[in-house]
Amino acid sequence: MAGFMLLSSCDFDSVVPESELPPAAKAYIEQNQPDTKVLLIKKERSLFKTRYNVTLDNRMEIEFNGDGLPVDLDMDD
C-alpha cells in the first residue's frame, strides 16, 4: 500500500519548448489563435496522464491533454 501511495503522488511539472507540444495542440493554436504567440508551455506529468498548459500573448491559457486535444480554456480579464 505504501508503494502505491508513493507512486500516485509523483507529479512532475516542467517548462518545455514549443517543439515538445503535440502536433494536434500546435494545429489547434494555429487554427484558432493565428495572430498569437506562445509565451509559456508547462508540461504536467503524473502517473496516469500528461497535460500541457499553454499561455499565449493575448493572456489566453489553453490546457491540452497528452494527445494535444484542448480540455480547458481560460482568458484573463
- The yes-or-no verdict on residue 4 having pLDDT over 60 is no
Q: How far apart are CA 67 and CA 52, in angstroms?
A: 10
Summarised one tens digit per residue, pLDDT across range 15-69 is: 999 999 999 999 999 999 999 999 999 999 998 999 999 999 999 999 999 999 9
Mode of pairing for the β-strands spanning 70-75 and 12-15: unpaired
φ/ψ of residue 31, rounded to 5: -80, -35
pTM of the model: 0.82
